[in-house]
């Protein structure tokens, strides 16, 4: 139970930090990177079942850090990445990772997207190895050491 409490506490702390930071990140690249990250985490095990897709979509809609963006646009972009990953996981993963990689020159935004991935991954109480692996891949894509996030 202590691990779950730690994970929940860390997620709440990251969410609070993100809410402060993301108000300054009102741009399309950040929104696209965040939705690519959410889709990658949802598809981390190679598939996205409809219930998982709905859960992540609900988390996106209710996430305070993403409240600066029109929810319908976020939902459309999330669904677009999910469709890419569902159609051809490997190609979709490359495309989503490349989108996140566009934030490499904006380290604050890149870190915020990584934090969103961690929050989404841990939202169900389990930040599993598949989810950690896609977040690590995203870290490498933006030039951030995964150890910074204890990955």
Going from N- to C-terminal start, the domains of the chain cover: 2-149
pTM above 0.85, yes or no: no
CA distances from 43 to 27, 109, 148 (A): 25, 22, 23
Residue 114, pLDDT score: 93
Residue 1, pLDDT score: 47
CA proximity to 33, closest of 78, 70, 72: 78
Residue 9, pLDDT score: 62
Residue 2's pLDDT band, with cuts at 50, 70 and 90, is low
> pLDDT tens for residues 27-66?
789 889 999 999 999 998 888 888 888 888 888 888 777 7
């Amino acid at each position: 139970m202590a691990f779950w409490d730690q994970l929940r506490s860390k997620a709440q702390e990251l969410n609070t930090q993100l809410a402060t930071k993301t108000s300054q990140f009102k741009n399309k690249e950040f929104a696209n990177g965040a939705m690519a990250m959410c889709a990658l985490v949802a598809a981390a095990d190679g598939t996205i079942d409809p219930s998982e897709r709905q859960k992540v979509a609900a988390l996106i809609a209710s996430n305070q850090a993403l409240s600066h963006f029109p929810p319908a646009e976020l939902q459309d972009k999330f669904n677009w990445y999910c469709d890419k990953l569902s159609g051809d996981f490997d190609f979709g993963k490359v495309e989503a990772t490349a989108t996140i990689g566009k934030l490499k020159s904006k380290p604050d935004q890149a870190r915020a997207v990584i934090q969103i991935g961690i929050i989404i991954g841990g939202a169900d109480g389990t930040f599993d190895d598949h989810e950690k692996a896609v977040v690590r891949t995203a870290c490498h894509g933006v030039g951030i050491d995964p150890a910074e996030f204890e990955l």
